[in-house]
Amino acid sequence: MPRVNDQMGREVNIPENPQKIISLVPSQTELLYDLGLGDRVVGITKFCIHPSHWRKEKQIVGGTKQYRFESIAAFAPDLIIGNKEENDKVGIEKLAKDFPVWMSDIATLADAIAMIQEVGNIVGEQSKANLLSHEILDGFSKLPRGLSEQKALYLIWKKPYMVAGNGTFINEMMKYAGFENVVEEERYPTLELADFKTLNPDVVLLSSEPYPFKTKDIAEIQAVLPNARIDLVDGEMFSWYGSRLKKSPDYFESLK
């Protein structure tokens, strides 16, 4: 049984060409589909919405934080794929006692490409992973990279307001989209509306996930930032680090 190190530096024993795969991360579920593993993926989470037909065809084994351990055990999976940020540490450690659990840890585009390459290698679809990686990198290479004049605030949650800070994949995607993040704190700090005014962004990006911001949410923010542009944006384009990255460059261009 081959031993590989995941992106958290953990050594994982994974059989060659695993046949019973469970994905606990939506963006990585979509990646497995695009690698052609429809017959080998047996379980996904309730948040795995792409491809949509898998929600009826695959076993739902819980969410990204809470798992149906009995359902997972019934499959005796030979590979479970998760992510350090999105999955529950205690639950992952419990699963890892009985099954091979490979974890990603992604903060940059380079990390995402490495994940795609490593997953492709693990499942025996390296050539497809190479083509996908090339397509993604080619798209991002065409985006202008330089100092942006648009200072932006990216909201991921309401009550309380939470924003994407430094050290996050969203922060990395904001740069590629042509925005300079006005938040200097790491990870996902909580802010008050008064803080928005102090930060004084040119643009406020209201994400569609994990909190589904809608048009009705704009007025409250516009009241404290009357001169800012406030946009509802597709959170998948900023936070999904699997094969959906193929679509991100064109989407970023559309925001300008």
* CATH code: domain of residue 198: 3.40.50.1980
The residues with which 4 forms a beta bridge, in sequence order, are: 12
DSSP-derived 3-state class of residue 216: helix
In a domain, 145, yes or no: no
- Same domain as 103, residue 18: yes
CA distance 73 to 55: 19
- Can you name the residues that pair with 203 across neighbouring β-strands? 152, 229
Q: What is the DSSP code (8-state) at residue 166?
A: B
User: What is the domain extent for residue 74?
Assistant: 3-139
8-state DSSP, 52: T
Which residue spans within the chain are E strands per DSSP?
A: 3-5, 11-13, 21-23, 41-44, 59-60, 79-83, 101-104, 150-157, 161-163, 179-181, 190-191, 203-207, 229-233
- pLDDT for res 144: 83
Domain boundary among 111, 139, 167: 139
pLDDT confidence band for 18 (50 / 70 / 90): very high
Query: Does the pLDDT value for residue 189 go beyond 90?
Result: yes
pTM: 0.94
The rounded mean pLDDT for the chain is 96
**Residue 144, in any domain of the structure:** no
Q: Among candidates 173, 234, 186, which has minimal Cα distance to 206?
A: 234
For residue 8, CA distances in Å to 5, 111, 209, 245 come to: 8, 11, 25, 22
117 shares a domain with 19: yes
Amino acid identity for residue 39 in this structure: D
For residue 228, being part of any structural domain is answered with yes
Q: Is residue 199 part of a domain?
A: yes
Based on the number of CB atoms within 10 Å of its own CB, is 2 exposed (0-12), middle (13-18) or buried (19 or more)?
exposed
> What's the pLDDT score for residue 147?
57
Of 139, 171, 193, at which residue does a domain stop? 139
Pair (34, 97) in one structural domain:
yes
Q: Report, as an integer, the average pLDDT of 170-177.
A: 96
Q: Which two tokens stand for residue 115?
A: 């994940």
Asked whether the beta carbons of 43 and 60 are under 8 A apart, the reply is yes
- pLDDT exceeds cutoff 60 at 222: yes
Residue 106 and residue 13 in one domain: yes
For residues 170 and 225, membership in a common domain is answered with: yes
Tokens of 85: 């940020």
Tell me the backbone φ, ψ of residue 3, rounded to 5 degrees: -110, 130
Residue where a domain stops, chosen among 139, 162, 186? 139
